[in-house]
Chain A
């Protein structure tokens, strides 16, 4: 194994991690502040991707599509919060899971009804096309580097928002004691809507960024949602810092597992079998890591204070 290959795989792991962070940040924020399990988060990811693909096809500009994806996902999030989620805060988690699962079905069928079942086309903007050389002789796609940069910017922005602004202060207060900040006169209903829309916008951004790399199609959000749940469980539910570290851990573990396990197995068994067994084992690896972390730290790496 060469240095160039290892570096490229590390970047791949980082990029997957950053993408997962965008999903997990919203999910964990919503759980932390409102105590709500939102299974429909993957649908908001899909909304972002579809909005970007449709607007980009219509205007010819990926960037306008990206803005549209943020706006549409945030709007969809706000509407869903006002119409459905608002009624679920006082219910137990099972009711929340049922209602948000129903939302997944509605979003999926609604999207299919509007755009059909065939995947939409969304291309990478000309500015970010192609690959740049890496030290060691390999090349790396510019677009993936841009995703890493975008994710880092969002992580920094969220940190500033939560630690330095009035809204952030309220979010932190909401995480520690929901009833108390309501009693202190903060408009808790608006705060909830804003937080939900913020989480939705982040999911929409992730969907749009990844949509250009993969295929924009109905049901694209659910596989990512499962990984995002693994991330927030590892990171500690409700913790943004935990979501960031958990996402990077899952991203790098998954990528390196897919890459290294078949190679290691190939030392012991024939290559065809090594590929098959290694591939299967690699798909379990992040769940094994999650189980190990939970065995040592049952509430995740950074448990939220109030839980």
Chain B
């Protein structure tokens, strides 16, 4: 084993192409590659690997494992990656309940965790950690934006989310900004695929707008069933509910749905155009927001590793905090709790050249910060 490691180290150290790091970097990616949430994990992995590939850097190794959306499995993989694979940084978890099982113990063992998606409130406030970074958002953010948007033209909203940490963050975020009346607030099971009972309640509720946070297969099922139900109330949600990973499976039922996002494929900046073109060339499909977030997470890690060694946690953290990257989102900086400060936009599902995608409508928030940063003492 030692010989093998030595050989591997040698092979890495003599590699010539690309930027050389102060020290080789090993990243452990735990993400969902099987089951109903696999589309999200695959976009996460592909976005992340695209940035690594574009950098041309050979000093970085990424070990990827499938968590099957199971917290207990994610914990086992994390232990294995930390103890036997000796990774320096963990990343990739899509789901907040899995992140809560992995991230706190990883940072307690002195490893960095750079989140590509999950961003539970519990890790953004008083329990923030200087080794924990979030490259995506804080869970509440996109929902807060929809709450703000709903104020414009809706008086009575029906809101629905799955019963898990991000679902609770979702409705909390929505309510933080929404001023109107709530027709009803419903929590469904994670992974639920039949929403007939909830749609019947929507019909009877007298609501003038519906907000749903249903990522992955849940959103597909809901939108298809809603389109058949004869209920005519407008549906909106955070970007996840109408993201590129689910739009082809929902079909035209999604047309016109309003959502919030920090990025959409029509963003007019150099980094975004390059990302979009590279992603389509590499994988032959449009990227979702999960891919953008993971792409930025990888860029952040690469930017810091190019300057200092990951073994020097203080210096590495300081470099990460600078967020010295060209994000497809345009603006990207870190708040004091190491969660992003960014603009959030309203998007609409449209059909372009026969492909369903999201189009930017307007900006909802400029330089939006999360509500928990004030409790974070780093």
Contact = CB atoms under 8 A, between A and B. Distances in A.
Interface stretch (A4-12, A164-172, A192-200, A239-247): A4-12
A143 B228 contact: yes
A300 B182 CA distance: 43
A212 B39 CA distance: 19
Interface residues of B, number: 43
B188 A279 contact: yes
B33 interface: yes
B187 A275 contact: yes
A259 B186 CA distance: 9
A255 B245 contact: no
B170 to A, nearest CB: 12
Contacts of A279: 163, 186-189
Interface in B22-64: 33-36, 38-39, 41-42
Nearest to A271: B185
Please indicate which of the listed interface residues A130, A141, A218 has the most CB atoms of chain B within 10 Å of its own CB: A141
A43 B230 CA distance: 32
Given A117-B42, A118-B248, A131-B230, A5 B201 contact: yes
A278 B36 CA distance: 24
A124 B196 contact: no
A232 to B, nearest CB: 20
A138 to B, nearest CB: 6
Please indicate which of the listed interface residues B39, B188, B189, B200 has the most CB atoms of chain A within 10 Å of its own CB: B200
Given A9-B200, A218-B36, 20 more contacts: A1-B204, A12-B194, A12-B200, A112-B38, A117-B39, A121-B251, A123-B251, A131-B229, A139-B229, A144-B228, A214-B224, A215-B193, A216-B249, A217-B38, A219-B38, A223-B193, A258-B197, A275-B185, A276-B168, A280-B187
Interface of B: 33-36, 38-39, 41-42, 163, 168, 171, 182, 184-189, 191, 193-194, 196-198, 200-201, 203-204, 217, 220-221, 224-225, 228-231, 245-246, 248-251
Interface of A: 1-2, 4-5, 8-9, 12, 15-16, 108-109, 112, 117-121, 123-124, 129-131, 138-144, 210, 212-220, 223, 255, 258-259, 262, 271-272, 275-276, 278-280, 283
18 contacts: A12-B197, A109-B34, A130-B230, A139-B229, A139-B230, A141-B228, A213-B221, A213-B225, A215-B193, A215-B246, A216-B249, A217-B36, A217-B249, A218-B34, A223-B193, A258-B197, A279-B186, A279-B189
